[in-house]
Amino acid sequence: MTAQTYWAEHAWLDTGVERGVVVKTGTDGRIASVRKGVKKPPTGSVTLRGLTLPGLANAHSHAFHRALRGTVQQGEGTFWTWRDLMYGVADRLTPDTYYALARAVYAEMALAGITGVGEFHYLHHAPGGGAYDNPNAMGEALIAAAAEAGIRITLLDTCYLSSGFGAPPSRHQLRFSDTTTERWAERAAGLKGDDNTRIGAAVHSVRAVPTGQLATVAAWADEREAPLHVHLSEQTAENDACVEAHGFTPTTLLADHGVLGPRTTAVHATHLTPGDIRLLGHSGTGVCMCPTTERDLADGIGPAPKLQSAGSPLSLGSDSHAVIDILEEARAMELDERLHTRTRGHWTASQLLRAATADGHAALGWHDAGAIRAGALADLTTIALDTVRTAGPPPELAVETAVFAATNADVRDTVVGGRHIVREGAHQLVPEVGQALAEAVAALRA
């Protein structure tokens, strides 16, 4: 890693939007110094023209769902009919085809300004449930794909044992299951992190991990001080089945078995009771909202403002990748709430950006990312302010412009650990990302 000097035309710092900001990065991939009020680029510096933000965090991803884009937008249906189509794609993946697809998907994320992703990974085994010679072949393919695409990854290795409240896994779900939490823990312990990778854990959902085994997953994460994520109350059918099976809501069940806490992130949290919201907030459990997926699957609108007021930090994810655009996720959280309440201004643009940056990275275990300040990881995302979507507003409104008008197409530069991964809209490591995506998806349809 070589040291580099970047000159940002405008940058979003702790003090707000500043003009002429010099960011020096060190050989350790961190920000060495930040200096504002520099009117011209210093000699030898790299110019970042537009608004430079901390790198964006995608706190919830299922990389293989990217192969569903377009195909699942036909006709009618529900989450459950969508799931059947998803299983069809999962059945056809191998470590090699998963690597090719994930590399292209993570490159698409880099083009969208994402510098870190949380991969909620449950596709562990071969079709039929047999183990690969390397039992972590699929997870290691994802780790390698992220490195090749130039972004960081938190691999959230997911425990998935049941088709629903103790029922055996379906034919499609055999690939997901380690049969017991002890076997899951043994396999997951073989995964190794590095400078680009953190290893975390996930409970797929209360329907997929028997109640008596939830504590094993929570303890595995606790011993390693690792992030722990869980799909929570995405569907009312899950809530109803949980109450019928146990007499409690999913949130109460998780609380009773030690799953909630400051290192835990609940994904979706769409259909909650007031008591659920208090449990999540008072325990400091984070919540990852995925608005484009939640509306694509007709899930509903989660109580994000109430969760945040109760004490839950919010993060954002692209989940099923109907689109990969964290700026869209940020504004969708606000705009969906406006539709729900018929009032405006639940969050400021800066608060939404915090969910998209610092709080998202923290949910993935990267507490030293998400800010442009000395000592932080040198992750930068630059949004153009001169496109047909962003031109016009004055620089002092650049944050509002980025959140409420810009899209992934307006990302001009992405820097990860001081490395210039996307330069002037072109990925420097993966040539022709669109072609790579097309080829990877086509291989799954052959």
Could you read off the pLDDT of 187-233 as tens digits, one per residue?
999 999 999 999 999 999 999 999 999 999 999 999 999 999 999 99
- According to the model, what pLDDT value does residue 445 have? 83
- 3-state secondary structure string across 56-102: EEEEEECHHHHHHCCHHHCCCCCHHHHHHHHHHHHHCCCHHHHHHHH
Task: Compute the distance between CA of residue 312 and CA of residue 290 in angstroms, rounded to an integer.
Answer: 15
Q: Which residues of 270-300 are buried (b: 16+ CB within 10 A; e: fewer)?
A: bbbeeebbbbbbebebbbbbbbbbbebbebb
Task: Compute the distance between CA of residue 282 and CA of residue 425 in angstroms, rounded to an integer.
Answer: 42
Contact 401, 409 (CB under 8 A): no
Q: Which residues of 320-347 are buried (b: 16+ CB within 10 A; e: fewer)?
A: bbbbbbbbbbbbbbbebbeeeeeeeebb
* Strand 114-121 to 380-383 pairing: unpaired
- According to the model, what pLDDT value does residue 80 have? 64
Torsion of CA 44, 49, 53, 56, to 10 degrees: -100
* Strand 56-61 to 16-25 pairing: unpaired
Single pTM value for the model: 0.97
pLDDT, tens only, 3-59? 999 999 999 999 999 999 999 999 999 999 999 999 999 999 999 999 999 999 999
Q: What is the mean pLDDT of the chain?
A: 96
Q: Hey, which residues are catalytic here?
A: 268, 319
Task: Compute the distance between CA of residue 35 and CA of residue 44 in angstroms, rounded to an integer.
Answer: 16
- How many Å is the Cα radius of gyration of the chain? 21
pLDDT (tens place) for every residue of the chain, 446 residues total: 799 999 999 999 999 999 999 999 999 999 999 999 999 999 999 999 999 999 999 999 999 999 999 877 777 767 767 777 788 888 899 999 999 999 999 999 999 999 999 999 999 999 999 999 999 999 999 999 999 999 999 999 999 999 989 899 988 899 999 999 999 999 999 999 999 999 999 999 999 999 999 999 999 999 999 999 999 999 999 999 999 999 999 999 999 999 999 999 999 999 999 999 999 999 999 999 999 999 988 999 999 999 999 999 999 999 999 999 999 999 999 999 999 999 999 999 999 999 999 999 999 999 999 999 999 999 999 999 999 999 999 999 999 999 999 999 999 999 999 999 999 999 999 999 999 999 999 998 87
